[in-house]
Amino acid sequence: MRLMVGPRTSLRSAAACPRMGSRLAAGFTILELMIVLAILIAIMGIVLVNVMGQKGKADVRIAQAQIKAFEGMLNSFKVDLNRWPTDEEGIPVLWSKDALTDDADKEKWGGPYTAEAKPNDEWGSPWIYRAPSEPTGKPYVGSAGPDKQEGTEDDIGNGGGDEGGSDGDDLGDFGSSSGSSGSGGGGG
């Protein structure tokens, strides 16, 4: 008897070969299906753990990039109005001049300084903004981080304002070794 493989294979030819016929009729055993299912679940678990860890890191990087972008927008605001936003005005003044309280400032406002409003960080909390306490200082812009609690270890910020952090320019010993009180750009 001739066994043909391909589209012309029939059940009669499969029945002629007892091993092949019984294998076609039996399919997979429950044990084989359970083993395959367990392997797939294990692989999905490993992938899920790795993806979730990367999502958290990506959110932190996005928040850091947004803070850097806010710094640039705040610098543009300062050039236009010759001052930083107040604590009351905060970050919303970058996309809406309605946040300004002084009509003269509304005339000078050169915004919007961003293409779209971004009132909340990656975790849905409002951005933290603190105006500098000194005219030569920089404002603090930050996020409460994934735990949404300000003042915890996972906070993300630019190190400006009264925070005293050095997340911005890391000048090390060079930042404070000079005895002079700044150069260039007289205030006023």
Phi, psi dihedrals of residue 66, rounded to the nearest 5°: -65, -40
Do you find a cis peptide bond into 112, omega within 30 degrees of 0? yes
Answer yes or no: is 129 within a domain.
yes
Answer yes or no: is 127 within a domain.
yes
**For residues 12 and 20, what is the distance between their CA atoms, to the nearest angstrom?**
11
To which H or E segment does residue 59 belong? helix 30-81
Number of structural domains (the chain) is: 1
- Over residues 85-139, the pLDDT tens digits come to 888 888 888 888 888 887 787 888 887 888 888 888 888 888 888 888 787 788 8
Provide the CA 14 distance to its chain's centre, in angstroms: 59
b/e sequence 140-176, b meaning 16+ C-beta within 10 Å = bbbbbbbeeeeeeeebbbbbbbeeeeeeeeeeeeeee
Answer yes or no: is 128 within a domain.
yes
pLDDT value for 50: 76
Per-residue pLDDT of the chain (188 residues; tens, 9 = 90+): 555 555 555 555 555 555 555 555 567 788 888 888 899 998 888 888 777 777 788 888 888 888 898 888 888 888 888 888 888 888 888 888 888 887 787 888 887 888 888 888 888 888 888 888 787 788 888 888 888 888 888 788 887 654 444 344 443 443 444 444 444 444 44
Answer yes or no: is 48 within a domain.
yes
The CATH number of the domain where 87 resides is what? 3.30.700.10
Whole domain around residue 144: which residue ranges?
34-166
pLDDT value for 8: 53
The closest of 134, 166, 133, 66 to 74, measured between CA atoms, is 66
Answer yes or no: is 106 within a domain.
yes
Structure tokens at 42: 């294990």
Which residue(s) pair with 157 in the sheet? 142
